[in-house]
């Protein structure tokens, strides 16, 4: 099977009929298969979540650094 060579695995996805209909319509408008449309949607969501996670970490590190600088200035 060709998909096995690409490292792809089948997944059963249960969608409400209305959501599936909307996804199929959008996929069709974009000239994509429903499979590719869902794959892209999942990839985009994961990318957004990962970026948000990195931004959260960066913000926490920045706050920590600012707190350390403020603490250092009080010591002198």
Q: Is the pLDDT of residue 3 over 60?
A: no
- Residue 8 to residues 26, 30, 37, 44: CA-CA distances in angstroms? 23, 22, 15, 18
31 pLDDT tier (thresholds 50, 70, 90) = very high
CA dist., res. 64 & res. 52, Å (int): 18
Q: Is the pTM of this model over 0.75?
A: no
pLDDT of residue 70: 73
List the domain boundaries for the chain: 15-75
At 11-21, the pLDDT tens digits run: 999 999 999 99
39 pLDDT tier (thresholds 50, 70, 90) = very high
- Structural tokens at position 42: 């999942």
- For residue 51, the SS3 value is helix
Q: Is the pLDDT of residue 53 over 50?
A: yes
């Amino acid at each position: 099977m060709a998909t096995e060579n690409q490292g792809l695995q089948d997944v059963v996805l249960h969608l409400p009929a209305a959501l599936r209909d909307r996804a199929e319509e959008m996929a069709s408008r974009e000239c994509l298969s429903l499979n590719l449309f869902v794959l892209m949607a999942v990839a985009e969501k994961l990318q957004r979540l990962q970026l948000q996670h990195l931004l959260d970490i960066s913000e926490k590190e920045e706050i920590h650094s600012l707190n350390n600088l403020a603490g250092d200035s009080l010591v002198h």
